[in-house]
Amino acid sequence: MESVHRGGVLAAEALQRSAGGYEELWLLASHLGDPKAAVLLLFPAVFHTHRRAGIAVLWAAALSEWINLVLKWILFGERPYWWIGESGLFSENPPKVQQFPSTCETGPGSPSGHAMVSAAVWWVIVSSLASCVHKRTGSKILAAVPYLLYAVFLGCVGLSRIFILAHFPHQVIAGLLTGVLLGVFLKWSVPEHRPLLFFFRFSLSLLFGALLMHGALQNFGVDLSWSIPLAKRWCSRSEWIRMDTAPFSSLSRVAGVLLGLGLAQYWKPGGWALPWVPRTLCLALSSIALHYINSFPVPTAPPLLFYSLFFLKYSIVPQVVMVLVPGFVHLLTAKPKRE
């Protein structure tokens, strides 16, 4: 494994040297591949285009992120930005690499969450789009275009994670393959029209299931916080260490999103049947609202307060996108009934 890690560092060095002029592009690709972006950016855009597809995106994002968290706890993957210093292999000839604000994630590195969640979520979208194109045009070539764009996007996300020293190449490949398999499976299990109790139980099951696993491993002497001191030690700048990249932040986001999805379908089953123009307005207003929700400051101490508020923040997201904003637009655009 040491030789694999060493080769990954050299690959990152070569990538930064040859493609360093496209730094902004790589940072953008990494941002778009963030599991958070699937919830805050992709979900509202897809939902206001096609309701069931939007729910499928949120469902795939939540479950793939939870599975990724569990795999990271089990696999104990290193991250390049701290392995370089910890390995001691580069003391005489250190690689000429640099870190970025999105480099210093504090959780284990295998498999890549960005690659895994992106592969799962975008498979749900791309496979449906390709089927629609083939049904309307009958052309297999045109139907293959979404898959080609899918591969290009995932390639950019994967390379961006290597470029910023967040992952080794084998971690990215593992995330991509696992994500595609999850996307294929989750596409056919969309929980539309499920009762609130289903989401309540599912959210609590994932939350407490992960906590019980964490506690059990800790009791067996397995330190699941091993990566946090390494991240703090080897990150170039202390302000780049953020609590929203910690494993428990992912768990809070997943549980909050699923509970919020259940509440949104409970408040307004089926939603509103809005024409295209009001739906475009819904997308604009949802994006603005989610921007402010995401930027709302959450106190980082004590940690339990942070994770609780983080949970609440993401439980609000589906309700804003699916209920509050469409309901407001419906009131604005609905024609008064004639008596």
Confidence at residue 192, expressed as pLDDT on a 0 to 100 scale: 87
What pLDDT is recorded for position 152? Answer: 97
| Annotated active-site residue in 5, 48, 50, 167 | 167
The pLDDT, as a whole number, for residue 216 is 92
In this structure, are residues 274 and 326 in contact, taking their beta carbons and an 8 Å threshold? yes
In the prediction, which pLDDT does 336 show? 63
Q: Which of 114, 170, 193, 330 is catalytic?
A: 114
Continuous segment of H or E residues that includes residue 219: helix 196-219
Residue 50 bears catalytic tag:
no
Q: pLDDT value at position 338? A: 55
Q: Given this model, what pLDDT does residue 21 score?
A: 82
pLDDT per position as a tens digit, 261-313: 999 999 988 888 889 999 999 999 999 999 999 998 888 889 999 999 999 99
Closest CA to 326 of 62, 44, 39: 44
Name the phi and psi angles at 106, rounded to 5.
-95, -10
In degrees, to the nearest 5, what angle opens at C-alpha 250 toward C-alphas 306 and 121? 145
Distance CA(176)–CA(158), nearest Å, equals 8
> H or E segment at 58?
helix 51-75
Q: Indicate the burial class of 38 (C-beta count within 10 angstroms; 0-12, 13-18, 19 or more).
A: buried
Separation of alpha carbons 197 and 267, rounded Å: 13
For residue 178, the one-letter residue type is: T
In 10 A of CB 68, how many CB atoms? 28
pLDDT at 106: 93
User: Is 161 assigned to a binding site?
Assistant: yes
Predicted confidence at residue 220, as pLDDT, reads 87
DSSP class of 127: H
Q: Is 136 annotated as a binding residue?
A: no
Q: Hunting for tokens 């330190």 — which residue is that?
A: 223
Query: What pLDDT, on the 0 to 100 scale, is given for residue 2?
Result: 80
Q: Measured between alpha carbons, how far is 140 from 249 in angstroms, rounded to an integer? A: 42
Two structure tokens written together for 13: 């060095």
User: DSSP characters for 141-192?
Assistant: HHHHHHHHHHHHHHHHHHHHHHHTTS--HHHHHHHHHHHHHHHHHHTT---T
CB atoms inside a 10 Å sphere around CB 53: 17
129 CA to centre of own chain:
21
pLDDT tens-digit profile, the chain (339 residues): 788 998 999 999 999 999 878 899 999 999 999 999 999 999 999 999 999 999 999 999 999 999 999 999 999 899 999 999 898 888 778 889 999 999 999 999 999 999 999 999 999 999 999 999 988 888 889 999 999 999 999 999 999 999 999 999 999 999 999 999 999 998 888 898 899 999 999 999 999 999 999 999 888 888 888 999 999 999 999 899 999 888 999 999 999 999 999 999 999 888 888 899 999 999 999 999 999 999 988 888 899 999 999 999 999 999 999 999 999 999 988 766 555
In 3D space, the residue among 208, 203, 202, 318 whose CA is nearest the CA of residue 268 turns out to be 318
Please report, for the chain, the start and end positions of each structural domain, with discontinuous segments joined by +: 2-333
The question of whether 330 is a catalytic residue gets the answer: no
Spatial distance between the Cα atoms of 127 and 6, rounded to a whole number of angstroms: 36
- Give me the pLDDT at residue 35, please: 94
How distant, in Å, are the alpha carbons of 75, 301, 331 from that of 325? 41, 32, 10
Q: Of 190, 121, 58, whose CA–CA distance to 113 is shortest?
A: 121
Instruction: Look at residue 99 and give its three-state secondary structure.
Output: coil
